[in-house]
Structure 1
Amino acid sequence: MADDLLDTPLTTLQGEPTTLRDLTGGGAALVVNVASRCGLTPQYTQLEALQQQYGGRGLTVVGVPCNQFGGQEPGVPAEIAGFCSATYGVTFPMTEKLEVNGPGAHPLFQRLTQAPDVSGAAGDVQWNFEKWLVTPEGEVAARFRPTTQPDAPEVRHVIEEVLHR
């Protein structure tokens, strides 16, 4: 079942078919639903810093644009890519815009939202910049709600644990 998560079909922001396994090269993934016009958008800076710090050790940040929260990701793929690159220097992979909640939720998020956060609550994505750390084996090691900063000690701790397995 865990392999299913890694092999869930995705499409990159550039329109190429892929999977989490392909995007990470067999490493761990920090999957984040992102948006360009959100009050939490500055988290891109910390996400890119995590990519730079841990990328060589097997972590890939994977950004998943979503327009379900206040219409905060209205752009087309080229606009999203340009904004992320020019404004935040994003180098990590991004998928096409996906729905994360409701009847149109992408299968990746149907699975991710089953994982509980630190308080034990699973279910719908609360807002942009919710984060899931997925192990190389396809298990969700942790789920962090939107207001948890990407470089928070609790996030770094779980990343270190997963990369030291």
Structure 2
Amino acid sequence: MNYNIRHLQPIPTIKVIFAIVLSLFAVYLFFQGTLFGLVLLGAALKLALREGFELDLQEKRYRNIYSVFAINFGSWKKLPEIEYVSVFKTIKKSRARVIAAEANLGFEVYKLNLFYNKNKHIETYVTDDKEDAFKVAKHIALALTIDILDATETEKVWL
């Protein structure tokens, strides 16, 4: 029986294909003797990067994971006694620069936090899809037998 729960942020298929092609081209350039291949390989790895989390229910531990081409990285931490999972909406900000021009951009994302000790939390998942956020929250709540707090609107609701 599998006691691990793993969720990774989805990335578009076209982005994965582009990362693979870029990686192959980067390796080719590197073996041709140009160091520009390393720069392209770094860009390809950044394109293929997926973030997420993993819970090990049998060992009572968790980790934030970074996955590149299905290779996962992350260190395990002890899982505290979780009280509930919260789904909330926030604005993710990013900055775009072109030579002398700069713009601050923001877009909505949904975050999942596991709360323990009344007000401490572990950020576990970020997505731009509300349905995906609640699907992951329900999976965690079912596995840990905890409640879900819907904090995506002004009025918070327990599910």
TM-score (norm 1): 0.22
Structure with higher Rg: it is 2
Structure whose residues are more often strand by fraction: 2
Higher relative contact order (CA 8 A, sep 6+): 1
TM-score between the two structures when normalised by the length of structure 2: 0.22
